[in-house]
Amino acid sequence: MGGDYAPKETVAGAVEAAPEMHGTILLVGRKDEIERVHAGSFPSNIEIIEAPEVVEMDDEPVNAVRRKRNSSLVMGADLVKRGEADAFVSAGNTGAMTAAAQMMWRTIPNISRPAIATVIPCRTGCFVLLDSGATVDADPENLYEFAVMGSVYAESVLGFKSPRVALLNIGEEETKGNQLTKAAYKLLKNDFPGFVGNIEGKHVFDGNVDVVVCDAFVGNVLLKTAQGLGAFVIEMFKESAPKNPLMRLPLILLKGGINRMRKRMDYAEYGGAPLLGVDGICFICHGHSNAKAIKNALLLAQKGHDKHLVAQITEKAARLKLRGERGIGA
């Protein structure tokens, strides 16, 4: 029921994904609305679970999870908690999704805070940015744990071989950064196989690293700035074209290429972003998600389940855990 185009696009995405899913899709929400937006009968591997309440986009996350027990969001998370579902996909309130997963599923042992991993296009294909939305006040150990989680996701679900993990920073040298990144650099350099050093914002699109680690505040600024500038640059290109309609004709020749570029930049191609570090598979879709994005998120969630994403993060986090209390120093 969450997201700007729910339940229409959500249901359409599930129907499109159904033939490619080897399990059952449980549509959690208001049954009458779900049936109304879909003409005809549902595929045999789609079931509807009645959830009368809805968490709205502006609901305060923790309150919403505590009070709206019969919402699609809380009931969906509960299905995973009780082992009746293997993964949870939603285009609803990101804060409430994160709160529900943390409060109801808990974090994985040796992981203290979750992170949302977003796939971003770059020159060589794509890279994973985390945290892009869950933990806005992170400590150095959190960033270390994000490296653990992000590298597992990149390798097991996205198919990167031996992912190169970098720390987002304001210079390449070890001495650069704020208190947080200087300390995180030390942890990663000493204890994380696959750490390739700092990366600056101007180089994240070069395609030389596979996983970029930062706190969710900085990750959000990077992501949103990229969105804002992308739109601005495309607009300037359009403005810079000749004004004379006849002279504008040649632009049509560029259209195919621009559409290819748009597609490469289109979040829907990547579906949802996983909330990593919690004890369950959770994919959060953009609020604007269309059917295609929902479908791709469902397929990603299925892949996460098939590749044992949670078990793999649990194993790597236990193996690489920082020594002593919360790791450090013992």
Residue 253 binds a copy of itself (CB under 8 A): yes
Residue 47 binds a copy of itself (CB under 8 A): no
What secondary structure letter does DSSP report for 286?
Answer: P
Nearer to a copy of itself, 134 or 299 (CB): 134
Q: CB of residue 230 vs a copy of itself: minimum separation in angstroms?
A: 6
Residue 249 binds a copy of itself (CB under 8 A): yes
Reading the block at residue 222, the tokens are: 């990077």
Contact letters (x/-) for a copy of itself, 105-124, by CB under 8 A? -----------------xx-
The half-sphere exposure of 103 on its side-chain side, counting CA atoms within 13 A, is 18
Contact letters (x/-) for a copy of itself, 123-162, by CB under 8 A? x------------xx-------------------------
Residue written as tokens 């996909």?
89
Q: CB of residue 286 vs a copy of itself: minimum separation in angstroms?
A: 12
Nearer to a copy of itself, 203 or 303 (CB): 203
Shortest CA distance to 164 belongs to which of 114, 124, 115, 212? 212
Dist CA 278 CA 97 (whole Å)? 11
Q: Are 210 and 150 in contact (CB under 8 A)?
A: no
Nearer to a copy of itself, 69 or 263 (CB): 263
Nearer to a copy of itself, 47 or 200 (CB): 200
Dist CA 327 CA 330 (whole Å)? 7
Radius of gyration of the chain (CA): 21
Residue 324 binds a copy of itself (CB under 8 A): no
Dist CA 201 CA 218 (whole Å)? 10
Q: Which of residues 198-237 bind a copy of itself (CB under 8 A)?
A: 200-206, 214-218, 220-237
Dist CA 62 CA 95 (whole Å)? 8
Q: Which of residues 259-278 bind a copy of itself (CB under 8 A)?
A: 260-261, 264
Nearer to a copy of itself, 258 or 311 (CB): 258
Q: CB of residue 199 vs a copy of itself: minimum separation in angstroms?
A: 10
Contact letters (x/-) for a copy of itself, 155-184, by CB under 8 A? -------------x-x----x-xxx-x---
Strand, coil or helix: what is 294?
Answer: helix
Q: How many residues bind a copy of itself (CB under 8 A)?
A: 58
Q: Are 200 and 176 in contact (CB under 8 A)?
A: no
Residue 37 binds a copy of itself (CB under 8 A): no
Q: Is the peptide bond before 131 cis (omega within 30 degrees of 0)?
A: yes
What secondary structure letter does DSSP report for 272?
Answer: -
Strand, coil or helix: what is 254?
Answer: helix
Nearer to a copy of itself, 162 or 227 (CB): 227
Q: Are 97 and 275 in contact (CB under 8 A)?
A: yes
Dist CA 284 CA 272 (whole Å)? 5
Residue 242 binds a copy of itself (CB under 8 A): yes
Q: CB of residue 214 vs a copy of itself: minimum separation in angstroms?
A: 8
Q: Are 280 and 89 in contact (CB under 8 A)?
A: no
Dist CA 48 CA 274 (whole Å)? 23
Residue 63 binds a copy of itself (CB under 8 A): no
- Which residues of the shown chain bind a copy of itself in the complex (CB under 8 A)? 60, 122-123, 136-137, 168, 170, 175, 177-179, 181, 200-206, 214-218, 220-237, 239-242, 247, 249-251, 253-254, 256-258, 260-261, 264
